[in-house]
Structure 1
């Protein structure tokens, strides 16, 4: 059969109109500004020639309120599937050149249909957010559309990974969809995200604020904690998404994409010794330790600029994917505060959803003291970290590097919180509180009565460390799996992980636990 020429010409014309979005002039203007178009972003994300568009001909039906019917190419959002790193990924990209990428009922329906297919196929979802918000002309239909998208975000939570890329405006109700997803990447250029903008804030509170103060990528990455990854531009944002997906399974029924080495290297790493300060009171930059433990180039830090006293991220150790959590003594002495607890708990729960083992590096003096922390709810926030670790059933390996005091010892995945293996360096101190504080509580009178109170306090502190805070005491009581030479930290973790990958843990039947939100 030969199709009539006019049918093929009509098809090509329609395809060209859809691909043109808001018009050649608008597309060219974006590129002149160094911005990718909606289609550019999807084409950069997916492997060449693997993207298949879904619902290209879907469009708004009927008239806008107060306006004549308009033709909206692809209804302002491009949806489809393609391959990223050899695996199928579902993606959509809002097109700002088509009525500002605003969301209406059919726009939302396309997104929801894609997400429903992602649930069936078991594919991650990547969403490029670039929208002026609800399509005012559609009234409540637009609000209904947002509700449909939010509902699907929640249904997919813990089923497939969801990644939002905020690369343009994302204001009002639109900002809740990224917040409901697992990770948010945001570009410094052209992007902002807020519930209420500067004008509304001034009208309601009388306070003048700038757009950067309430909605910039830098603010969200370092202050609000709403953004996990900061990108300079669209191209870097796409690269971050590709790197992130390389650590994640496609869905919750799969194991992470481990690439286990044939043999685990058991060689000692003497290069770790210079990174450990001679004085236990001196801060230690744990990033140096992380670099010695993970495979070269295989660490992707998450939330780098937020709650910097706790480091989290994805890594590979001898080819095995892990979620890594580490106290950072170089910031606030590594003490846990509200933001650090939230940051850690959220990450742990994601790893548990997607079968990713956890490695925890501990050097923590306690929870951060202060009236702001107490009034802000440090008890509730700290409990989130305890809850997350205790409810996590993936393999968990903990290494106590130096300090592990009080409740923070438990909050950083002790044996009691379900760790499968707990190792400690000989430099570890595990106690209710630090030795200096403990002896002043226990022996205050003796110290004051001594000829040299300072020397007496130091003598008693040394004795307390040796007798009551020693890792050997904890190991002797069965709380520690082993005390290990720092030089074999990497091989010890790798062996433990390899043995624990077959872990299965059955919990009491229940709908879900009630995490202290």
Structure 2
């Protein structure tokens, strides 16, 4: 039997109402501010702008405080599945034009249903956050909704990648859902994320602060470390999400999107032989080395502005997706501090749960000394790196470029922490401490008795370095796989990665390890 025109007209009208958002005036107001609507954000994200919407006609069920007759299109959140670069992905976008995107029971149910679907189907999730917080009129039901979202974020953790985009306000308890996901991308303009805003802080403490002090993208990117990427606009935020997705598997039982059709190329890169400063104490930008190693100099750095003494990010080396962790000698001389430890450990653990091989580039003189670091718990934080590397079962390749001293040597994934292959450049120094310090301790009397103590100290330091810190000593004891020319690094690493892709490693059965949080 044909569907009657009346039913089709009713369907069209219902769709029109559901797709109207907060109405023409609110949509136009956003446009004037240069902000995109929730639907525009999803359209720009999915291939061809096409997606299957889930729960288009869902609305709130609140009958208190005059809400009974209030229309809230799609209950303030759009949930959908679609394709990005031909791969399925789930996404939701909160609609600020509808009740400020506030979360109520049905709003939360839509998000939870999407997360459940993503978990069962093994597809990544992207959440676009633009919400004024909990829907006050729904009280305990709104709080319950948040709790159910947090619970699912935790269930999905390590099962499918979760990416959060902060495109507007994300305040109070709402901030904890993004915090439970793997990566947070935040737009500079129009976005804020905080637990307590300036007014609450002033009322509670008397301190006067601005929103930029507590909730801006710049603050979270460089000081708190809460976010991983900063975008100039909402459009760029969605582009970053796409770029990030291009390096990730859809779930924890799949391999990353390697391109094994790329032929193995062992051709030396002579530029790498010249890239290291002749003065061993002089800094250099490790990102210049990374760009020589990855395909087409395409490196997606994660948390670029936070803990800049440690560089982490994604790239491909001759087609193999790899997570890179590197000391940055240009900042704090590449020493490892509290923030750098947290940054590296978190990244290592993400790569491990999603089967992404690890490449570690080493040039560090040790953990950063100082009373603030000691009182801040550098022992506990530094142990996170030891734990993360030791627990990781993915392929682990390490290249020691220059200094690798003391506990920091161990924190940067030597063979003792499970590295499958460790390469060293001829410039590598592997020792308990630097040659000068070691010579002063070992030959203190001999130096003080010399006619020229300073010259004697330099002589003994050079002797110590050549005998006890040179990479050949470690190689002779099988701590180093091979000492190589820097120019050989890209080819050697590419071959090592391919040789270890089939690696399988089992660990003692347990619920989970107890990382020193």
Q: Same fold (TM over 0.5)?
A: yes
Q: Which residue of 2 aligns with 1:90?
A: 90
Residue 274 of structure 1: CA displacement? 2.6
Shift of 1:443: 1.3
Cα distance between partner residues in 2 of 1:481 and 1:118: 42
* Offset of residue 297 of structure 1: 4.2
Q: Please report the TM-score for the alignment, with normalisation by the length of structure 1.
A: 0.99
Residue 65 of structure 2: aligned partner: 65
Q: Measure the CA separation in 2 of the matches of 1:57 and 1:67.
A: 17
Mapped to 1, the partners of 2:47 and 2:261 lie a distance apart of: 27
The yes-or-no answer on 1:337 pairing with 2:333 is no
Partner of 2:193: 193
* CA-CA distance at 1:66 after TM superposition: 5.0
Q: Does 1:120 align with 2:120?
A: yes
**Structure-2 separation of matches of 1:133 and 1:374:** 38
Do residues 104 (structure 1) and 91 (structure 2) align? no
- In structure 2, the partner of 1:55 is 55
1:147 aligns to what? 147
The alignment covers a number of residue pairs equal to: 517
Q: Is the 8 A contact 2:273 2:485 kept in 1?
A: no
Counterpart of 1:374 in structure 2 is: 374
Structure 2: how far apart are the matches of 1:24 and 1:271? 58
- Compute the displacement of 1:32 (Å): 1.8
Give how far 1:50 is off. Answer: 3.1
Secondary structure at the aligned position of 2:127 is classed as strand
Query: Is 1:214 matched up with 2:206?
Result: no
Contact 2:262/2:319 (<8 A) preserved: no
Unaligned runs of 5+ in 1: none
The 1-side partners of 2:436 and 2:287 are apart by 27
- CA displacement, residues 165-222 of structure 1 (integer Å, 9 cap, x when unaligned): 0000000000000000000000001000001011111111111000100000000000
Quote the offset at 1:68 in angstroms: 4.4
Aligned residues of 1:65 and 1:138 also touching (Cα < 8 A): no
Q: Distance in 1 between matches of 2:50 and 2:298?
A: 26
- When the two structures are superposed, what TM-score results if normalisation uses the length of structure 2? 0.99
1:16 matched to 2:16: yes
User: In the TM superposition, what whole-angstrom CA distance separates every residue of 1:294-329 from its partner, at most 9, and x where no partner exists?
Assistant: 101421000000000000001000010000000000
Task: Report the Cα offset of residue 98 of structure 1.
Answer: 0.3
1:290-329 to 2 correspondences below 5 Å: 290-329=290-329
SS in 1 for 2:47: coil
Query: Separation in 1 of the partners of 2:38 and 2:64?
Result: 24
Task: Give the Cα–Cα distance (whole angstroms) in 1 for the partners of residues 62 and 35 of structure 2.
Answer: 32
1:74 is aligned to: 74
Inter-partner Cα distance in structure 2 for 1:433 and 1:65: 68
After superposition, what is the alpha-carbon deviation per residue over 1:109-155, rounded to whole angstroms, capped at 9, x for unaligned?
Answer: 00000000001110000000000000001010000000000000000
Distance 1:99 1:49 in 2: 25
Q: Does 1:249 align with 2:246?
A: no
Range 9-18 or range 102-111, more displaced: 9-18
- Once superposed, what is the RMSD of the aligned Cα atoms? 0.9
- Matches of 1:44 and 1:67, distance apart in 2: 33
Residue in 2 that maps onto 1:444: 444
For 1:357 and 1:311, the matched residues in 2 are separated by 16
Distance 2:138 2:479 in 1: 62
8 Å CA contact 1:62–1:69 kept in 2: the answer is no
Contact (CA 8 Å) 2:264, 2:494: kept in 1 or not?
yes
